[in-house]
A and B are shown apart, each in its own frame.
Chain A
Amino acid sequence: MNALLSEHLILRGERMVLDSQPLGGFFQINGHPSGLGGHPRWRGYAATWEIQDGRLYLVAVDGGPDVGLDTLFPDNPDGVFAHWYTGELRCPGGKRLQIAHRLYSVLTEFDVFIAVNKGVVTKERVVMNTLTPLEDDDPAFEAEYQKLMSLPRNAHLRRKD
């Protein structure tokens, strides 16, 4: 996974790499906007998403000089509620372990999974890829989550938007 081409998700104030593309289907339905830049093999944009009050919002789109959030959604230049998305977002974190064979991305020390139903977050969980999953209703979830995010090697994830 090339971080430069990745989507990003701002989760609890942390900017993380997002290994999902919630905007892909949107362009499929509404057509790809003209002027979307990028390499032909690349999707042509990098979007930034944010979880605010348990909802998924699209807050920025970098699609070249002519395509941005304000051109795609002129009525909502500050953010767009992603009500069309139902699925599981994955934010990989920590040190890279290996190239994943089944997906296009890498396997890292831990993953944050966010289940979303029609744009509304229904569940969060952290999976240590060498340990057992830790669910968000577990009493240890918050402490472990903070501990993981504070590791020195995750400094790049703590960059504020």
Chain B
Amino acid sequence: MLIWVCAYLLAAIPALVLVRLFQVLTAPAGELSGFLKDLISMLREQYKLDQDKRLLAGKWAVTFCAILLWPLAVAFWVSKFRLKPEKPARVPDPEDAFDIKSAHLLRTVTAAEAESQAIVTDPLGRVPALPFGHLNPGWLRLLAQMQEGDTLWYGEVPGRQLPFPAPERNVQFELPIGAKRGYAIQRQGKVVADFLFEWD
């Protein structure tokens, strides 16, 4: 039923357009009917009145805001000249230079234990038969920095887990990005050297 009503109403649109077209084409050039003239002049007057009202309202709004907000503007200007207490500069942490920091340390190990867990084998023989394989030079550099009283730690840096299941626009990684594992030397409670043997 509703469809029929809509169809009936829609059918009236072309009919009205045709009637209006006929009126325009048959009317003397440059003249409009009296009714249309009256209508247009009335609308113009109404628009002018509305415009005046809008302008007046705008002026009042600006005045009102200026009265309300001028103290804030002055306070902001004064605050710029006030002496601000200096923030204490962050003391640089020596651990900043390393991937593994004290918070990442999990357990102490000996060099022998670490090496026993770092045997890498490859069926194609594409890795040297040394602890940590191709990374052996880095491991040796770490051991060379060991001093008496130092402790060797195993540590893990957690990666970032991207949203999963991800929205359409994200790449759908399942594993964390940027996870790292390695060993670090701790001296007097601070990491002073590290060696990564596994990372993303």
Contacts and interface: CB of A to CB of B under 8 A. Distances in A.
Interface of A: 19-20, 25-26, 28-30, 52-53, 55, 57, 73, 75-76, 78-81, 83-88, 90, 98, 100-103, 105, 107, 111, 113, 115, 118, 125, 127, 129-130, 133
B175 A118 contact: no
Interface string B164-178: 010011111111010
A86 B127 CA distance: 16
A30 B138 contact: yes
Interface in B169-200: 169-175, 177, 179-181, 195-200
A141 B200 CA distance: 26
B133 A79 contact: no
A81 B126 contact: yes
Contact size class for B?
20 to 34
B120 A83 contact: yes
B170 A86 contact: no
Contacts of A53: 123
The 3 A-B residue pairs with the shortest CB-CB distance, nearest first, are A87-B200, A81-B122, A25-B199
B42 interface: no
A28 B196 contact: yes
B162 interface: yes
A114 B120 CA distance: 21
Given A86-B199, A87-B175, A100 B126 contact: no
